[in-house]
Amino acid sequence: MIRHPDIRFAATIAARSARVAGVLLVTAAMVTATSLAQTVPVPKPAPKGRDGAQSGGGGPAVTGATQAPPNPVIPDPRRNVPSSIFQTFDANQKAQAAKVSAYLSSLSTLVGNFVQVGPDGSKTQGDFYIQKPGKVRFEYDAPSPIDIVADGSSLVVRDRKLATQDVYPLSQTPLRFLLSDRIDLMKDTNVVNVSADDVFVSVTIEEKQALVGTSRLLLMFGAKDGQLKQWTVTDPQGYDTTIAVYNLDSSKKLDPGMFKIDFTNYGPAPG
């Protein structure tokens, strides 16, 4: 059962966005600046699920050398993306969007590491696990006490230290685009820009919600290998949060228990 109705959800975002640094806006999660202001550590090559949950094989078995954490590409905060330029898309842009759609639709699982850069420039790191459709788990490295878990319909932002969690409808977070079983970006989303250079293919999705406002999701894929590299979410107040992913493995079988929301040991967050 959703503990936060739409109005409370929107009010929570507005009240906290100004004072929260390093927030994972891609899931509309509110994480305190204290827990997120930390030095990015050396990544662990084989992350394991917390709370006793293990991925199949104990973490992402990446072929070849383990990659070092990437430096996320931070979008220019002065950029001004048109509200709608769908009618001006040329054949190349539509072909790029179709290629990205096919790649996202081909994924059933995805495991790896991530580096997050918050609106204030603070960095955090951790491991993530995706099981489509609709399931994801983000585990932040210490000292952050945060886990984020989606079970297909709901998403929780969990604080292990306080044993509390906030619950949101997955349908109200931009992350649902990455977790869709099949997706056609040109039909299923409001794509406002597609661009490509020698390094990245970038797709910008704009979303307008009456209670929350307008947010944007910028997806970036490797121009050469076609793999997901990072995404940036711009919240209705104009704050950017960027997630860069690496050491990706799409061959792992994951324990379904990793994506179960624990309502027994974690209660609702106060306020």
Which pLDDT tens digits describe the chain residue by residue (271 residues)?
444 444 344 334 333 332 222 333 444 333 322 233 333 333 333 344 444 444 444 444 444 568 899 889 888 766 655 555 445 788 999 999 999 999 999 999 999 999 999 999 999 999 999 999 999 999 999 999 999 999 999 999 999 999 999 999 988 787 788 899 999 998 888 899 999 999 999 999 988 877 778 888 999 999 999 999 999 999 889 999 999 999 999 999 999 999 999 999 888 877 6
CA atoms of 26 and 235, how far apart (whole Å): 9
Tell me which residue of 251, 255, 254, 234 sits closest to 243, measured CA to CA.
234
Q: Is the CB of residue 218 less than 8 Å from the CB of residue 204?
A: yes
Residue 217: inside a domain, yes or no? yes
Residue 58: inside a domain, yes or no? no
CA atoms of 114 and 23, how far apart (whole Å): 14
Residue 69: inside a domain, yes or no? no
Residue 89: which domain range?
A: 6-40+85-260
Residue 231: inside a domain, yes or no? yes
Residue 266: inside a domain, yes or no? no
CA atoms of 256 and 37, how far apart (whole Å): 31
Tell me how many domains the chain contains: 1
How far from each other are the two terminal CA atoms of the chain, in whole angstroms? Answer: 18
The pTM assigned to this predicted structure is: 0.73
In the chain, what is the greatest distance between 2 CA atoms, to the nearest angstrom? 52
Which residues, in sequence order, are bridge partners of residue 136?
130, 150
Residue 268: inside a domain, yes or no? no
Residue 59: inside a domain, yes or no? no
Q: Is the CB of residue 27 less than 8 Å from the CB of residue 243?
A: no
Q: Assign residue 38 a region: left if phi > 0, alpha if psi is -120 to 50, beta otherwise?
A: beta
Residue 67: inside a domain, yes or no? no
Q: Which tokens hold the place of 64?
A: 């070849």
Q: What is the CATH number of the domain that holds 215?
A: 2.50.20.10
